[in-house]
Amino acid sequence: MTVDRLLPTPEAHDLLDLTRELATRELAGKVDDFEARGEFPREVLRTLGRSGLLGLPYPEESGGAGQPYEVYVQVLELLAGTWLGIAEAVSVHTLSCLPVAFFGTEEQRKMLPDMLGGEMLGAFALSEPQGGSDAASLTTRAVLSGDHFVVNGTKAWITHGGQADFYNLFCRTGGPGPKGISCMLADAATPGLLPQQPERLMGLRSSAPAQIVLEEARVPRDRLVGAEGEGFAIAMKALDAGRLGIAACAVGLAQGALDHAVGYAREREQFGRPIGRFQGLGFMLADMGTQISAARALLLNAARLKDAGRPFSTEAAKAKLFATDVAMRVTTDAVQVLGGSGYVSDHPVERWFREAKVLQIVEGTNQIQRMVIARSLLG
């Protein structure tokens, strides 16, 4: 199904055409194999980087594409409709470039062309085994010793863990609470930075996260990003933008599931006619399409606020909450439309159904999004 899109420039139309072409040529024929083997598609991401899709919302002078978020999130949506693991990887990598792009020193920013061009893959190491939603209570500690920080602790659920070339490490350099947290940029080769085995996931098996154990890891002092104690603010700024990325992934996943269900409902016949002509299924498809359109509208509204330099945190939380809940409902209904065929791996709706669940959890659970929205309403 072709979705009508109002794009700000002819260049944006060309970019989405390129994304569709890459999704067809580079992604569609590979996703099932990589998901079945649980193999991370590093070369596919490198190809996307060389095509300019890994630095879309960053300035051209830094090696990015200078595109508004309104365009970037629609690129993510198109990728997610074919391979959620790739779209989520692009979203996380884009998130991982933000600390250096906005808070990095002049020397650190020299790395941006390789980051944004996809030659260097990033990871965002904030969560911990006992500190997911309550990020301000993280316990990984970095102690300054000469010209290095010595870091000890464990990071959990790190997308690209063991695959990344650089890690944004959020560590406690001061006292308790958010003001004691700092951000530092660690190379994958840092001694004492020890990726563990990837997690065994229900879905997203080609992009499984891993724990990162830090045992006397030595990070050069000049790799501190921003000022000491500024790490929590950096993380929250990144997560606000990252929630738009996850919302876009959810919209794309839901759209892919709807398109497949509609195609099936046109072809599958029972009682002498296509099943989509029965009101029970037709109305189900109508509700799916309406929910996706509403989710896309919330997402684009939040992205346009960001592009305009206006506050968008609450709208990003609404978009992430609604779009990921929609993805779960739509993929569930897509399986139902296909009946028994939807429960076998011959059709991708089985995979999309499993993948949708994680989107309600990552980048802040949907319960956390409701807390953010409620707090903005109540003051």
Among all chains, which residue has been given the structure tokens 């004492």? 192
Pull the structure tokens for residue 256. 């892919």
Residue 312's identity, in one-letter code, is F
Max CA pair span of the chain: 79
Q: Are 172 and 181 in contact (CB under 8 A)?
A: yes
Interhelix angle 84-103/231-267, rounded to 10 degrees, is: 160
Burial (CB < 10 A; 0-12, 13-18, 19+), residue 60, is exposed
d(CA 144, CA 209): 29
CB atoms within 10 A of CB 242: 23
Q: Residues 35, 77, 230, 363: which is the catalytic one?
A: 363
CB atoms within 10 A of CB 130: 11
Is 363 catalytic? The answer is yes
Active-site amino acid positions: 363
